[in-house]
Structure formats: structure tokens, C-alpha cells
């Protein structure tokens, strides 16, 4: 299949404002594409060359791409820069400048999806001395073989700014429809396999080449991150025991969730984030400790890494721990800010997949393989069926400054990628008004007024995720919580993913001044969830939607994907919990 056809599909996707249309366009293309090219097509649709856990990046700055465009089109760098300033998108610059050239230079044979993919892969793999010039030369070579519309998407792809925002759920629905004729028929199987390997292109090519039966055989593999199990919420200890009975109650630490894989072959250890990204290079101290403290040939364990304050002998808050997330000066930072890993689960041990084993068995295996030491520890826990004991453990944790507790069903397996009542979190926040945070996806922004005019941004339009519809529904207009410098920074970041119209996966009654693709997640604190006819989150025909009262941003862009943000369903639950708490409070005070 020609890459040109894929580029035309992306153009159609870019043009639609309806999520269903986007899905139809994609599924009919998947149906046509050959079995050997479906994996590359899926990677292109995900806007990545390989899954994030493989850690391969283009490492091409804008300036390098500008030079490649100039060379390929025979223009001066200054001309490229000038048009870029005007258009704000190097993809469009390449498209415009290559139109004329194309007529004279383009050879009659056009490139296939695989050929373009392979050339891009080669560019990404070039490293070391002289790599800047070689990368520019190779991109120039590729661009001279492309038509203008192909160049638009290749340039955007290299810069990581395709601005399509198709999203994994839409791709999974489209794959199901392409193979079975129905959007939902194969979706559970596709999703299960994806949850286990975090590589959607691998899932797609297995489905296309070997059929759905092979998908069912997907197993956990050391080296491929498993999408993490997540926790539901309940408002108090009593409700937790009522729901899951006797359970393990663990301290809820506030740091980085890590999934650590060790292969038997070569004793290779890799660390992945909550988002399946490579974090191995960030934690040399954890790797050294694992080698000393864990007795096993191969394993996959999970835990929370938290900064440790040696002087005060206590854990640092998240804002301090996060400073360990860096690419440079990693060793120096690790010495200044050591971390402790509180391990709480084991998913694989010495060749055996443990995800189907009950929690309590996994827990004893984990305990057995950890040698006592400073860095790797077991998460603190109790096992109880008594709500009072649970409550006491919770209070103790709160007074020690942790976030709260997570209660875990003793007989449950590890359900990759699922948020359900196998794990239930209880945080300090549910005990008063809404203090729990909400993760919103930014879909646009409003230009500033008054003092903010000079920043060009005054507020963000925040949404929560409607899983069933695969849409983002508005819940708040957020205008506080960032410093002046950060407002400018976020505007620049959002401008790089801005789109002309509201994105197809966004449902909004409010009109943002600038729309962008749903990509970045912010944690928001608010005083209360209220009802509002202006917002689409939870809005039904004659009922208003939900809104956040006094929303303010906490921290900075989160390491969560857009479809990992808070869902409309969770908002509904939090709204009910909030009512529940306030009624109890009133009764008590009567
Ligand atoms: P989520 O990860 O559930 O989407 P979130 O990132 O906002 O949401 P929380 O809702 O605060 O985080 O709680 C879940 C997170 O708590 C886990 O993802 C994990 O990082 C962390 N955590 C800390 N201690 C534990 C523990 N003992 N067991 C499981 N998770 C824990």
C-alpha cells in the first residue's frame, strides 16, 4: 500500500469533527491495508515509530528539520523560517515548498508505507558523532521522494506533532470493525492483548496474520510493560469491608509507580513508568539495589519509588520526588536525593506468569524473594476484616503524612489495565469536602484578559474522559494555579498541537479561542463538583452536566495518557460521595 494513501487518510481524519467519522475512515482503511503493513500503519496512527517503552526517538530539533526542508525544496533557510513563522507548522511549510519541486524531481515510483517507515526508522537509529548532519541528509533524501501531502505528515511525524489525536480506543475499535465487521466484537480480546504487551501494532499484526485465536494466547513477557492495574474509590472503611470483606490494606505512597522487569538472559533490568515509558536510565540506584536485594532469575515487580530525606529520616512529598525524573545528571541527582522502592506486587517470577494467581499468593512470593536492605522494601500492610482496624491503619498513615491506604482483595488476580474494586483507594480527602484531585485533559485555551493579555492565554478548557463514547467532555475552565512563566510555557506547548476546529473526540458547548488535540493531562484541585448546563461531562438530555468549583492546577503536565484521565463515571461517583459525606456531616451536627 502506498504511503500516499495513508497520508490521504490522515488528511481526512484531520478534517473531521466527528469521532464516529474518524473511526469509520480508519476502519475502512485498516480493512484495505495488507497484513504485512498493518503494524506500521498502526504505529503511524499512534503517532509513534515504536511503542514508548522501547525508548527510540528521532532526536531531531526543529532547526534540523528546517534544514532538511530547505535542502529538499531548494529554498533558503531564511525562507523556510519565514513561512514557519507565518504558518506555525513545519509540516505545512514542507507541503507548500515541495509542491513545485515535486513536479520536476519526484520519480514516478511512489513509496510504500513500509518503505517510508523503514527510512524513518533508519533516521531515528543514527546516533553518535556526525549524527546531526547524517539525519538531516537522510530526511532530505526522504522528502525529495515524497509528494507534498506526504511530506506534511512525515515532517510532523518526525517532530512528534502529527496533531491527529486518534487515540488507542479509536484504533482498537477500528481494528475490530475491520476484521469482524463490528466495532465491539473483538474489542475485549484486542484490549486484553494490548494490556499485556503495550504494543498495539504487535496486537494488530497478530490479529491480521494469525486471527483472533492467537490473540487469546497472548501472555505476559519480560521486557514488555504490562498496563498497570488501577484502583477504584470508596468513601470510608465500612464501605470497603462491605464491598470486599477481609482484605489487605497497604500504605498508599506518593511517588513514582514503577514496573520493573528482569530478564534471565544477560540479567537485563528495565524500569517502566505508569505510562509504559522507559525509566531505566533514571534509577541507577534502584537497579544496583535490585541486583543485591532480589533473589530471582527473572521477575516483574511493581512498587512506588519515593524520595527519602536522610536527615529527617522521612519520605519526601511528591513535588520533591518528581525532580528525579530527568535525562541529565542522573547519577549526581541520585546521590543527592536517594529513593526507596516500596514494592507491592509481583506479576512474574522465574519463568512463571503470576497474574492469574490470587493477591495473597503473589504477596508471599514477593516477600520471599526480597532480601532486607535500605532501598528495596515491602509496602507496609495489615490484613483485616474489621472496619475499625482499617480506619485506624488509615489514620496512622495520614498522620505520618502518606496519602492514605489502598485496600486489596485477597483472592483477586492482577488485572492488567483495569480499574476495578480489586483495589480500592481511600484518601484523606474524601473525609471532608472534595479535596481529591481530578485529572483533566486540556482540549483548548482562552486568550487572556487584563494582565494576562500579554501572555496570550488566560485559561484552559479541561475535560474528563467518556470511556464508552471515547470522547472528552468539558468540566472546567481553569484559570489559576500556574505561575506567569508557566502560563507562557503551556501556551507554547499547546500551540504546537493546536488544530483549526474542535477535535473530533471533544464534546463541548463552550467555544475555546484556540483548540488543540486532547493530549496533555493536568491534575486539578477544586472545592466541589457542582452541576452546570454549560458543561458536557455527565450531561443528559434535560439534565445539566458536572462542573468543578474553583478549579486550580496542581503541579505540571502529568505522565498520563489522555484516556487515563479521570472518567465521567468517576466524576459521577465523586459527586455522590461528596453528597454522602456532607449529609453525614449535617446529621452529626444536628
Ligand atoms: P491512578 O493511578 O489510579 O490512575 P493517580 O495516578 O491519580 O490514579 P491515585 O489515584 O492517587 O493515583 O492512586 C493510585 C496510585 O497510587 C497507583 O497508581 C500507585 O502509583 C500509587 N500507590 C502507592 N502505594 C500503592 C500501593 N501500596 N499499591 C498500589 N498503588 C500504590
| 232 contact partners, CB below 8 Å, separation of at least 6 | 419, 420, 421, 423, 424, 425
Q: Which pTM was predicted?
A: 0.84
Which architecture characterizes domain 230-431 according to CATH? 2-Layer Sandwich (3.30)
**Exposed / middle / buried, residue 447 (Cβ in 10 Å: 0-12, 13-18, 19+):** middle
Residue for grid cell 475499625: 388
The pLDDT value recorded for residue 103 is 53
437-585 classified as CATH 3.40.50.1980: no
Q: Where in the chain is the domain with CATH 1.10.3260.10?
A: 3-159
**Average model confidence (pLDDT) for the chain?**
91
Spatial distance between the Cα atoms of 115 and 96, rounded to a whole number of angstroms: 23
Q: Does position 579 have pLDDT exceeding 80, yes or no?
A: no
The pLDDT value recorded for residue 315 is 86
Ligand 1 centre to CA of 483 (Å) is: 27
C-beta neighbour count of 369 within 10 angstroms: 17
Between 401 and 144, whose confidence is greater? 144
Which cell goes with 380?
Answer: 507496609
State mean pLDDT over 269-297. Answer: 95
Residue for grid cell 542522573: 330
Percent of the chain whose pLDDT exceeds 70: 95
Helix (H, G, I), strand (E, B) or coil at 117: helix
C-beta neighbour count of 118 within 10 angstroms: 13
The ligand 1 atom nearest the CA atom of 230: 3
The pLDDT value recorded for residue 453 is 78
Is residue 143 left, alpha or beta, with left meaning phi > 0 and alpha meaning psi from -120 to 50? alpha
What's 281's DSSP letter?
G
Band (108; pLDDT cuts 50, 70, 90): low
With the most atoms of ligand 1 within 8 angstroms of its CB, the residue from 304, 363, 404, 429 to mutate is 304
Spatial distance between the Cα atoms of 44 and 162, rounded to a whole number of angstroms: 9
The ligand 1 atom nearest the CA atom of 379: 27
Q: Does position 192 have pLDDT exceeding 50, yes or no?
A: yes
Residue located nearest, by CA, to atom 2 of ligand 1: 230
Query: Do residues 372 and 335 lie in contact, with contact meaning Cβ atoms separated by under 8 Å?
Result: no
Ligand 1 centre to CA of 379 (Å) is: 13
Ligand 1 centre to CA of 325 (Å) is: 18
Ligand 1 centre to CA of 278 (Å) is: 19
The pLDDT value recorded for residue 583 is 35
**510 DSSP β-pair partners:** none
Active-site position among 71, 119, 252, 502: 252
Residue located nearest, by CA, to atom 25 of ligand 1: 252
Our answer to whether residue 252 is catalytic in this structure is yes
The pLDDT value recorded for residue 76 is 96
Between 576 and 141, whose confidence is greater? 141
Ligand 1 centre to CA of 231 (Å) is: 7
Q: Where in the chain is the domain with CATH 2.40.50.140?
A: 437-585
Element containing residue 405 per DSSP (H, E): strand 404-409
3-159 classified as CATH 1.10.10.10: no
C-beta neighbour count of 468 within 10 angstroms: 10
What's 244's DSSP letter?
H
Which cell goes with 382?
Answer: 495489615
Which cell goes with 420?
Answer: 476495578
- Positive or negative CA dihedral for 183, 189, 195, 196? negative
Which cell goes with 580?
Answer: 454522602
Q: Where in the chain is the domain with CATH 3.30.470.30?
A: 230-431
Spatial distance between the Cα atoms of 57 and 123, rounded to a whole number of angstroms: 10
Residue located nearest, by CA, to atom 26 of ligand 1: 252
pLDDT (tens digit per residue) in 202-259: 999 999 999 999 999 888 999 999 999 999 999 899 999 999 999 999 999 999 999 9
Residues with a CB atom less than 6 Å from ligand 1 = 230-231, 250, 252-253, 257, 274, 304, 344, 379, 406, 425, 439
What's 402's DSSP letter?
-
Residue located nearest, by CA, to atom 16 of ligand 1: 252
The pLDDT value recorded for residue 590 is 27
Closest residue by Cα to residue 200 from 223, 179, 170 = 170
Residue for grid cell 522502592: 341
The pLDDT value recorded for residue 53 is 93
State mean pLDDT over 60-81. Answer: 96
Percent of the chain whose pLDDT exceeds 90: 78
The ligand 1 atom nearest the CA atom of 419: 3
Q: What SS3 string covers 177-199? A: HHHHCCCCCCHHHHHHHHHHHCC
Ligand 1 centre to CA of 236 (Å) is: 17
Q: What SS3 string covers 25-53? A: HHHHHHHHCCCCCHHHHHHHHCCCCCCHH
The ligand 1 atom nearest the CA atom of 408: 28
Least confident of 263-272, 420-429, 512-521: 420-429
The ligand 1 atom nearest the CA atom of 437: 7
The pLDDT value recorded for residue 100 is 59
Q: Does position 587 have pLDDT exceeding 50, yes or no?
A: no
Band (580; pLDDT cuts 50, 70, 90): low
What's 110's DSSP letter?
P
Q: Does position 423 have pLDDT exceeding 90, yes or no?
A: yes
- What does residue 269 show for φ and ψ, rounded to 5 degrees? -115, 135
Q: Does position 459 have pLDDT exceeding 80, yes or no?
A: yes
Is residue 27 left, alpha or beta, with left meaning phi > 0 and alpha meaning psi from -120 to 50? alpha
Residue located nearest, by CA, to atom 31 of ligand 1: 252
Closest residue by Cα to residue 545 from 523, 560, 530 = 530
Which cell goes with 1?
Answer: 500500500
Q: Does position 424 have pLDDT exceeding 90, yes or no?
A: yes
**Exposed / middle / buried, residue 89 (Cβ in 10 Å: 0-12, 13-18, 19+):** buried
The pLDDT value recorded for residue 432 is 47
Amino acid at each position: 500500500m502506498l504511503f500516499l494513501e495513508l497520508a490521504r487518510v490522515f488528511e481526512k481524519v484531520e478534517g473531521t469533527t466527528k469521532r464516529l467519522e474518524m473511526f469509520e475512515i480508519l476502519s475502512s482503511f485498516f480493512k484495505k491495508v495488507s497484513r504485512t503493513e498493518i503494524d506500521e500503519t498502526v504505529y503511524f496512527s499512534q503517532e509513534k515509530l515504536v511503542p514508548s517503552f522501547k525508548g527510540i526517538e528521532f532526536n531531531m530539533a526543529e532547526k534540523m528539520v528546517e534544514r532538511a526542508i530547505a535542502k529538499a525544496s531548494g529554498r533558503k533557510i531564511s525562507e523556510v523560517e519565514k513561512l514557519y513563522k507565518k504558518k506555525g507548522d513545519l509540516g505545512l511549510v514542507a507541503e507548500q515548498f515541495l509542491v513545485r519541486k515535486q513536479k520536476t524531481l519526484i520519480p514516478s515510483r511512489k513509496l510504500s508505507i513500509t518503505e517510508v517507515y523503514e527510512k524513518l526508522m533508519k533516521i531515528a537509529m543514527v546516533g553518535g558523532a556526525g549524527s546531526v548532519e547524517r539525519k538531516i541528509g537522510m530526511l532530505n533524501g526522504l522528502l525529495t521522494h515524497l509528494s507534498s501531502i506526504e511530506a506534511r505528515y512525515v515532517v510532523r511525524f518526525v517532530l512528534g506533532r502529527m496533531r491527529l489525536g486518534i487515540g488507542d480506543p479509536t484504533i482498537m475499535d477500528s481494528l475490530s470493525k475491520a476484521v469482524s465487521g463490528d466495532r465491539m466484537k473483538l474489542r475485549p480480546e484486542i484490549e486484553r492483548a494490548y494490556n499485556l504487551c503495550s504494543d498495539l501494532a504487535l496486537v494488530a499484526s497478530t490479529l491480521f496474520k494469525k486471527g483472533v485465536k492467537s490473540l487469546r494466547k497472548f501472555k505476559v513477557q519480560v521486557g514488555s510493560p504490562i498496563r498497570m492495574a488501577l484502583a477504584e474509590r470508596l468513601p470510608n472503611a465500612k464501605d470497603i469491608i462491605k464491598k470486599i470483606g477481609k482484605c489487605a490494606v497497604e500504605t498508599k505512597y506518593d511517588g513514582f509507580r514503577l514496573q520493573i522487569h528482569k530478564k534471565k538472559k544477560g540479567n537485563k533490568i528495565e524500569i517502566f513508568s505508569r505510562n509504559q515509558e522507559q525509566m531505566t536510565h533514571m534509577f541507577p540506584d534502584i537497579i544496583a539495589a535490585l541486583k543485591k536485594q532480589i533473589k530471582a532469575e527473572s521477575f516483574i515487580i511493581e512498587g512506588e519509588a519515593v524520595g527519602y530525606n536522610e536527615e529527617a529520616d522521612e519520605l519526601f512529598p511528591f513535588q520533591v520526588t518528581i525532580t528525579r525524573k530527568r535525562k541529565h545528571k542522573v547519577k549526581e541527582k541520585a546521590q543527592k536525593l536517594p529513593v526507596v522502592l516500596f514494592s507491592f506486587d509481583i506479576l512474574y517470577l522465574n519463568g512463571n506468569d503470576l497474574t492469574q494467581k490470587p493477591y495473597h499468593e503473589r504477596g508471599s512470593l514477593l516477600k520471599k524473594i526480597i532480601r532486607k536492605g535500605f532501598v528495596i522494601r515491602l509496602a507496609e500492610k495489615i490484613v483485616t476484616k474489621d472496619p475499625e482496624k482499617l480506619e485506624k491503619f488509615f489514620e496512622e498513615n495520614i498522620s505520618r503524612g502518606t496519602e492514605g491506604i489502598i485496600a486489596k482483595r485477597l483472592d483477586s488476580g492482577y488485572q492488567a489495565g483495569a480499574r476495578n474494586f480489586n483495589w480500592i483507594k481511600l484518601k484523606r480527602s474524601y473525609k471532608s469536602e472534595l479535596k481529591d484531585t481530578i485529572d483533566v485533559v486540556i482540549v483548548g485555551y482562552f486568550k487572556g484578559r487584563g494582565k494576562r493579555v500579554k501572555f496570550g492565554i488566560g485559561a484552559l478548557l479541561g475535560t474528563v474522559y467518556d470511556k464508552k463514547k471515547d470522547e472528552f467532555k468539558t468540566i472546567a475552565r481553569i484559570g489559576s494555579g500556574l505561575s506567569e512563566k508557566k502560563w507562557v510555557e503551556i501556551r507554547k506547548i499547546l500551540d504546537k498541537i493546536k488544530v483549526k476546529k474542535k477535535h473530533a473526540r471533544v464534546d463541548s458547548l463552550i467555544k475555546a479561542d484556540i483548540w488543540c488535540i486532547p493530549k496533555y493531562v493536568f491534575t486539578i484541585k477544586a472545592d466541589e463538583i457542582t452541576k452546570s448546563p454549560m458543561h458536557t461531562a455527565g450531561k443528559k438530555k434535560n439534565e445539566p452536566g458536572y462542573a468543578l468549583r474553583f478549579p486550580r492546577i496542581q503541579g505540571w503536565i502529568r505522565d498520563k495518557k489522555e484516556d487515563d484521565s479521570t472518567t465521567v463515571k468517576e466524576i459521577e461517583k465523586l459527586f455522590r460521595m461528596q453528597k454522602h459525606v456532607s449529609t453525614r456531616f449535617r446529621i452529626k451536627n444536628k
